[in-house]
Structure 1
């Protein structure tokens, strides 16, 4: 006889939330989470005790940091989690892995037992946050040893004026990394004018629409980066082609975190970007720069 009422609803986990029950997840550095109450999305930068409670600090895509009580009320990839403090065992595993690495992500021999150099007067400018995060991930160890600071620009439209304001000197050099630097573009005309401002500036770039493209597509399981038609937001279009959330700026930030997480070392980046960044680092770390000050 057919049961017109179906199975017994009480035999299942009928009280389970639509997204599933929250799972304990360690708040390890770099984990991207969303606070359910405020909608704040950011990567874990640290966990600390404050006022008798444990607080997790999340940094959003604009570099703003906000603290939240460790525990329930967070989402990771849309699923509820209960954030917990990293265990001593996990911290020890991370420390052991770092100690075992003999080279930096850029391929340089890792320098141990040496404090980061006080920032020199020279700088490297990049166009945006994603550029800065990629440079930090691959070349961060080298730059700290050399005392070179990477700073973000909000585009390059006013590059000549910014260079004049910086006032480069032989001991206070400036390197600039520009996106989509190909002949005939607006960027190429801006760079041609800016290069005349000072002989102590080196401006280099890469041909990609966005620094995302400098990550080898194979790292994402692709043969090539998708082609996005004119008039469509390139980043949102890429995320859509990848089948990832792509409607909001938060989706863009999360998408970039996923892409950045696939970069293990310089070998995961295209040679054009590698050559430009390496040349800029060489330019701003000439011996005469050692006398500069921040």
Structure 2
């Protein structure tokens, strides 16, 4: 057949009703996007989208700095092509959803989450920490990882008799012991105790952090501060910190509630100081993964 008018062999096979400029495509009204209103010819960059008078309005600013609002939707051109402007939040919501899904794929420690895997039966190895607050912090950040590995965290009531406790545990190559100690700095009582305890068994690893208390391992920025308060000698450190923060601080109940408040600010490993992170990660590796030369 002679295609005199360029329709092709089948007129109905094409979108013959489409306007000359093409059908309108949906485009998010991102800030800075240059568009033209078809009815008025107003051309300008998107400077915002808001709800006004029961409708969504897009505000455009022309090259002279003048602004004008138009109903969000059809009736605009971008580079001469018809578009339907949509709220930019639609795209942002998709981005936030993708970020949330990505975050959910990892544990608070940053490890890849093992989906559908039940907690392993507890192994013989253990990690000991000095107190309840240490245990609660380790559980919040590393709990998922430890359950997968079957490692139990247990609390010590101080470290004064640490060597004797290690002998009672009787660690072996397959039943290791990792210990996290507070305020482990040169010249302290804790350092002398650890040096003695390390001689008990080669299957024990004792690490620590330099902070007076595990509270200080939480970055002060999580509390809106540049640094933790400095408490003078002779004053209860925890009670003093709570007082400096302006929180209730007179009783042990106040201390417990203060810690809960601090712990609630911890979302993941990124909210903790690197010194604590390094120590806990090394202890977990020690009690779960034998070094290659020992296999």
Tell me the TM-score normalised to structure 2 length.
0.64
Q: Which residue of 2 aligns with 1:83?
A: none
Q: After TM superposition, give the deviation of residue 99 of structure 1 in Å.
A: 10
In structure 1, stretches of 5+ residues that fail to align are 1-96, 289-294
Distance in structure 1 (CA, Å) of the matches to 2:187 and 2:268? 32
Q: Which residue of 1 aligns with 2:210?
A: 207
Q: Which residue of 1 aligns with 2:227?
A: 224
Distance in structure 2 (CA, Å) of the matches to 1:256 and 1:113? 32
1:175 matched to 2:166? no
> Does the residue aligned with 1:181 lie in a helix, a strand or coil?
coil
The number of equivalent residue pairs is 192
1:152 matched to 2:167? no
Q: What do you get for the CA RMSD once the two structures are aligned?
A: 1.4
State the structure with bigger RCO (CA 8 A, min sep 6), 1 or 2.
Answer: 1
Q: Which residue of 2 aligns with 1:133?
A: 136
Q: Which residue of 1 aligns with 2:264?
A: 261
Q: Which residue of 2 aligns with 1:122?
A: 125
> Does the residue aligned with 1:114 lie in a helix, a strand or coil?
coil
Equivalence map 1:1-294=2 (5 Å)? 101-287=104-290
Distance in structure 1 (CA, Å) of the matches to 2:204 and 2:226? 36
TM-aligned CA distance change 1:124 to 1:208, over 3 Å: same
Distance in structure 2 (CA, Å) of the matches to 1:141 and 1:116? 9
> Does the residue aligned with 2:164 lie in a helix, a strand or coil?
helix
Distance in structure 2 (CA, Å) of the matches to 1:270 and 1:167? 32
Distance in structure 2 (CA, Å) of the matches to 1:286 and 1:253? 35
Runs of 4+ in 1 over 3 A off after TM superposition: 97-100
TM-aligned CA distance change 1:213 to 1:167, over 3 Å: same
Distance in structure 2 (CA, Å) of the matches to 1:222 and 1:235? 16
Tell me the TM-score normalised to structure 1 length.
0.64
Q: After TM superposition, give the deviation of residue 177 of structure 1 in Å.
A: 0.1
In structure 2, stretches of 5+ residues that fail to align are 1-99
Distance in structure 2 (CA, Å) of the matches to 1:279 and 1:117? 20
> Does the residue aligned with 1:225 lie in a helix, a strand or coil?
coil
Distance in structure 2 (CA, Å) of the matches to 1:208 and 1:138? 18
Distance in structure 2 (CA, Å) of the matches to 1:189 and 1:102? 42
> Does the residue aligned with 2:116 lie in a helix, a strand or coil?
coil
Q: Deviations over 1:124-150 (max 9, x none)?
A: 000000000000000000000000000
